[in-house]
Structure 1
Amino acid sequence: MKELRKTIQLIGIFVFLISISLLMIGVNSQENNNYEVKEDNEGNKIIKVKDKTYIIPRSIDIKEGVGGIVFVNEGEDKKFEFLGNNILLIKGAEVEVTSTSNGQEIDLRGRGEITTEWNHLPKIKNAKLKLDKDNNIIFAEFESTGNEEYEFEFNDKIYSFRTEKGSKVLFDPKEKVIKSDKVIVKINGKEISGEKFSIYLGEKEVVEGENTIIITDDKIEAIGKVKVETDSFSYEGLIDSAKLSVDIRDGVENIKIEGEEDRSKEEGGIAKFSKKY
């Protein structure tokens, strides 16, 4: 009888220890079909995704987002690596990283810095990025918090954006549109700038009242108060209706400048234009 009672007590202790172990696992790890999170002895998070392990600073909280994993920084500015991206979160910022069938989506809410395999994006806030399977950025929308230059490549063309504090960038080459505010944009030897403008990389019906640039292989059109600089000429529209048309045939540029408003040279004219050669 004593041996039976002792056996029952040992079983009870064993069950209790198992319960405690399971409870500890539940506290220190979070697991679903995509990732698992545990803590090391220093309180840092260890997140495992598809057999790859990443160490996340303890000041950064991890939670599930709508479709991805959200990292929230409530402490000092911290850097960490996740899915091939180096991410800096300023205090109070958060970033959601989502793996998709076509690549990744990164949604930064607040201020931070993101470095992918091919691109470095410092001093940005409220950014949305889409990456393809080769980690190329194929969509970017963000606000710059300082004087920086960002560069993207798409279909063997380089797109450069020189910003100042408060500049806004929308880069969507798949839809053939770029929107910028207080940015100098460089595309294949063409430099475009203005307060707020749209660039269309193909034929587009012009929206009235919008500073617009249309670029194709054989044409450049600029409508409104925008600046266009190429190897051969410099142009600046001075009124909303100013329009530059450049038709390129066999390497020869046929240039036309017009505007609905009639302004004399003394009044400033409708545009500034100079030929470089």
Structure 2
Amino acid sequence: MTYARYGGPEVLELTTDRPKPKVPPGFALVRVVASAVNPVDWKLMAGGLDPLMDVHFPVVPGWDVAGVVEELGVDTYQFEVGDEVVANGRRDEVQHGTAAEYVSLPARVLARKPASLSWEQAAGLPLAGLTAYQTVRRLGVGADDTVLIHGGAGGVGQTGVQVARALGARVIATASERNHDHLRALGAEPVSYGDGLTERVRGLAPDSVTVVADFVGGVLDTTLAVLAPGGRHASIADAEVEQHGGRWIWVVSDGADLASLGELADAGKLTVDVSSTYPLERLADAYRESMGGHTRGKIVVTTGD
């Protein structure tokens, strides 16, 4: 799938005449089994990140992938042909994505597919998983912490809950009531977002929380109101946190971190909730569902067999 101009899902086209990607030294050619949809995909397509990243049309969208190594570039010693792998394939420039039959990626962003996850679950792990994992680790979360996660039922939030719980922390997570049981199953104490959130969090944590991870944006006032003195906070959606002692996180594509997530999955401490799947030619429909903003788990696109 490609798009040759900025716009909505209507600009996506099924393209059949693109050459197979080249495989430079240190790269692997991956035959795509599944890829995942993330909000950044359609925000890029609409031109929303044009100030940050160079875009070269036509663009194959998508960053997340699960697939099989088909070919290795010179001195790509970390993998073998036939290995099942996952990756967040973001590059410095936007053009070659994962909504395709093949994608060529540097070995440093690849990790072996967790055996415990299906292809669809594995495809949904990289971007959301790395975002959550790197945020939680950079905040220094440990067993003595009480963590508030804004947006606990989203793809990033669910992984954040599980990673923080695996580190021994107590977790409070915001979500709509329909997702509360799911969050409880992941080990979090759910709380409804919206008016009165500060009071509800204080009701669960009268002594304040020590860490806040914001995965939705627009909640800085609540964060500052419930955070203990000396507490740590970060956001992936609100740069203003930097003016209040917090960190603004931009995920790094890192195969080693992704391998750590895979180890958590295979140890039974992490799973990926897949809400829906689409064949590649229906990528526009997958984007429309994502743009609706009411999906709890990951939206996955399958390629070929």
Per the TM superposition, whether the score is higher than 0.5 is no
TM-score by length of 2: 0.27
Q: Which has the higher strand share?
A: 1
TM-score (norm 1): 0.29
